[in-house]
Amino acid sequence: MPLVRPFRTSFGTETDRDVILVRVRTPDGDGWGECVAMSEPGYSSEYVESAQLVLRRHLVPRLLAAGDVSASRVAEVLAGVRGHPMAKAALEMAVMDAELRSTGESFGEALGAARASVECGVSVGIPASIDELIEQVDGYLAEGYLRIKLKIEPGWDIEPVKAVRKTFGDQLALQVDANASYTLDDGEALGALDGFNVLMLEQPLAEDDLTGHARLARRIGTPICLDESIGSAKMAEAAIELGACEIVNIKAGRVGGYLEAAAVHDLCYSLGVPVWCGGMLETGLGRAANLALAALPGFTLPGDTSASDRYFLKDITAPFVMHDGLLDVPTGPGLGVSPDIDTLTKVTTAVEEIRSR
């Protein structure tokens, strides 16, 4: 699926989205899941081809061999396969969608949603120039987005933040995301962000460097948010206890599924740690599930739950359209949305079916 504009981060540039969808067929109905792995192993070690392989050879066969498995048991059934949280999350999401569609319950109801709509933020990739950045931010604010996130990297950090603050003022809710592109030696540069009143500095250091994040947190005033470092509720608890972060970005694909994502939320909520829902350029299927997750009570900060037209000229579901900076949480059974089969067929490059014996 071609993106509306190239999306550049510190680990690469995407011009289109290569998506794995999982469709689970059960006697009670079908369900859909979306794998958020990218085409290359930049954001994480998972990527599209590896997710296809592990689904085909290991995850789907184990799920089929287990028989009639509820969504709450998918993680347990797949636990014997180490890693691959994004592939596992796609499979769990599809099973959960099928299960909820059969009972008439929505994703939001199942997860514990407390709101009917969710505040929208937008993630702005690294452009070619400051002028282009200002133009993009101005456009997103005109559309009604309530929070701007700037991607940064060494050499592209203070100047773009300074320019955005100067142009749009201190009232703008602004945060930055480094995608693990810095080291502790960059502490002085990162400390300079303190002068620009940014909401948070997201994932400045390597994902396995919790102690480094804790040291950095003691050196700078800007709150640190962790993304790539948080692979489970247990890892979130460790990061918070170490003082490695004050805010947590929750992505269901990164933690292995929406049920574990809800567990991360519950932990942070109990500890008074703010959370928000990160995005991975999802289609309408993943966006529907993210909206249900982001409606839980602990999600007090706008996430990357942008409207469909932020990414795609034509989504595979009915588009999610923002109103007054908000997106509505689907209320229909399961995800509350389904792919338009004609649209899906046009963008499908391959289909593989695996049946139980």
Go through the domains of the chain in sequence order and give each one's CATH number. 2-104+340-347 (3.30.390.10), 110-328 (3.20.20.120)
Would the pLDDT of 241 be above 90? yes
* Amino acid in the structure at residue 138: D
Work out the percent of the chain whose per-residue pLDDT is above 90.
Answer: 93
Average pLDDT over residues 167-190: 95
Q: What is the pLDDT of residues 257-290, one digit of tens each?
A: 999 999 999 999 999 999 999 999 999 999 999 9
- Residue 150 — very low, low, confident or very high, per pLDDT cuts 50/70/90? very high
Q: What is the pTM of this model?
A: 0.95
The predicted pLDDT at position 5 comes to: 83
The predicted pLDDT at position 134 comes to: 98
Would the pLDDT of 7 be above 90? no
- Say which residue, 71 or 357, is predicted with more confidence: 71
The predicted pLDDT at position 49 comes to: 96
Average pLDDT over residues 329-340: 97
Residue 328 contacts residue 116 (beta carbons within 8 Å): yes
Q: Which of 201, 179, 164 is nearest to 9 (CA)?
A: 179
- Residue 167 — very low, low, confident or very high, per pLDDT cuts 50/70/90? very high
Antiparallel, parallel or unpaired: β 147-151 and 121-124: parallel
Distance between CA atoms of residues 59 and 22, nearest Å? 12
* Amino acid in the structure at residue 260: E
- Residue 356 — very low, low, confident or very high, per pLDDT cuts 50/70/90? confident
Would the pLDDT of 72 be above 90? yes
Would the pLDDT of 52 be above 80? yes
Distance between CA atoms of residues 296 and 261, nearest Å? 11
The predicted pLDDT at position 12 comes to: 75
Average pLDDT over residues 147-160: 96
The predicted pLDDT at position 14 comes to: 83
Work out the percent of the chain whose per-residue pLDDT is above 70.
Answer: 99
The predicted pLDDT at position 357 comes to: 72
Residue 275 contacts residue 299 (beta carbons within 8 Å): yes
Q: Taking CA 206 as the corner, what is the angle to CA 122 and CA 238, rounded to the nearest 5 degrees?
A: 90
* Amino acid in the structure at residue 112: G
The predicted pLDDT at position 9 comes to: 83
Token pair of 260, please? 């574990």
Would the pLDDT of 330 be above 80? yes
Q: Which residue numbers are catalytic? A: 151, 251
Which range, of 93-97, 110-114, 124-128, averages the lowest pLDDT?
Answer: 124-128
